[in-house]
């Protein structure tokens, strides 16, 4: 991948900046912005090297077992400790990607604050009596659909020195679409609210148009106001899409 393109697709400015952040060795990053732009994809795959990625999707119903771990029943009638995803990321020096951390409940949120603390301060005593610290190479990326990082709790925002607004489609995610859809999707994903659709919508459209009329598939996925513009753009080229929307 060059600095400005990936497999023939231009790399948007926000992802060029993210690449530089990773190259600088910064390991606490917030990616925020509209849904369906590839924030989680970027967090799981960008500059990860040989490390493993672990993804936590936060909800009000999430328990600490998913984060740090829990004692689980054993075949012999006893119990054994099973690491949660954040503990696994710490032990392996992997990448922890946390989606919508602000949606976690109070106890789990407090636990996640411990797992996102700076390397110098980070440590955790497990119920097993073991004290763990992050292995070298550990990094954590937080993704959120908020409009501005100031919406996050102060204690959380303080742990992430870099916050990047991601408002364009990730090029590596775009190239998973057929070539005739890529630039159309890139344009629509980066459009203003009310005129945009997510990458997920384009993946669904690609599947649906295999089994039904293209216009009908577009209307099902994008709605009548956007469908005809997208179908026309696919037929005659991306340059006209901003005019017809």
Provide the pLDDT for residue 237: 61
Residues 49-97 pLDDT 10s: 999 999 999 999 999 999 999 999 988 889 999 999 999 999 999 999 9
Lookup: tokens for 78: 């006893």
> Helix %, strand %, coil % for the chain, to 5?
40, 20, 40
- Calpha distance 25→4 (Å, rounded): 20
pLDDT at 244 over 70: no
Provide the pLDDT for residue 7: 86
Positive or negative, the Cα torsion across 230, 236, 238, 243? Answer: negative
State the first-to-last Cα distance of the chain, in angstroms, to the nearest integer.
32
Provide the pLDDT for residue 225: 87
Q: In 3D, which of 193, 225, 230, 188 has the Cα closest to residue 209? A: 230
Provide the pLDDT for residue 245: 38
Provide the pLDDT for residue 111: 93
Under 8 Å between Cβ of 117 and 159: yes
Choose between 23 and 243: higher pLDDT. 23
pLDDT at 243 over 90: no
- What CATH fold (topology level) applies to the domain 5-165? Rossmann fold (3.40.50)
Range name among 16-25, 103-112, 207-216 with the lowest pLDDT average = 103-112
| Burial (Cβ within 10 Å: 0-12, 13-18, ≥19) of residue 65 | middle
Question: Whole-prediction pTM value?
Answer: 0.88
Residue extents of the structural domains in the chain: 5-165, 177-244
Residue 29 β-bridge partners: 141, 162
Range name among 6-10, 78-82, 121-125, 225-229 with the lowest pLDDT average = 6-10
Secondary structure of residue 188 in the 3-state scheme: helix
Provide the pLDDT for residue 85: 97
Q: Compute how many other C-beta atoms are within 10 angstroms of the C-beta atom of residue 3.
A: 8
- Across the beta sheet with 53-57, what order do the strands follow? 53-57, 95-99, 139-144, 28-32, 162-165
Residues 129-173 pLDDT 10s: 999 999 999 999 999 999 888 888 898 899 999 999 999 999 999
- Rg (C-alpha) for the chain, rounded Å, is 21
pLDDT at 240 over 60: no
Residues 186-228 pLDDT 10s: 999 999 888 899 999 999 999 999 999 999 999 999 999 899 9
Token pair 């411990």: residue: 114
Under 8 Å between Cβ of 140 and 27: yes
Lookup: tokens for 136: 């070298």
């Amino acid at each position: 991948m060059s600095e400005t393109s990936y497999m023939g697709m231009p790399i948007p400015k926000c992802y060029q900046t993210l690449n530089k952040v990773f190259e600088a060795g910064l390991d606490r990053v917030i990616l925020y912005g509209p849904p369906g732009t590839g924030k989680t994809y970027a967090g799981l795959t960008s500059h990860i090297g040989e490390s493993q990625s672990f993804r936590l999707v936060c909800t009000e119903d999430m328990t600490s077992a998913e984060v740090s771990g829990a004692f689980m029943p054993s075949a012999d009638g006893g119990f054994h400790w099973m690491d949660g995803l954040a503990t696994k990321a710490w032990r392996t020096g992997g990448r922890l990607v946390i989606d919508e951390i602000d949606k976690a409940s109070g106890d789990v949120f407090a636990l996640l604050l411990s797992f996102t603390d700076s390397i110098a301060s980070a440590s955790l005593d497990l119920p097993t009596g073991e004290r763990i610290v992050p292995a070298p190479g550990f990094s954590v990326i937080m993704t959120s659909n908020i409009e501005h990082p100031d919406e996050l709790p102060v204690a959380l925002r303080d742990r992430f020195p870099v916050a990047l607004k991601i408002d364009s489609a990730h090029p590596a995610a775009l190239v998973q679409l057929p070539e005739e859809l890529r630039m159309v999707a890139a344009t629509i994903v980066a459009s203003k609210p009310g005129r945009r659709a997510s990458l997920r919508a384009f993946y669904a459209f690609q599947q649906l148009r295999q089994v039904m009329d293209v216009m009908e598939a577009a209307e099902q996925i994008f709605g009548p106001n956007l469908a005809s513009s997208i179908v026309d753009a696919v037929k005659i080229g991306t340059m006209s899409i901003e005019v017809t929307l």
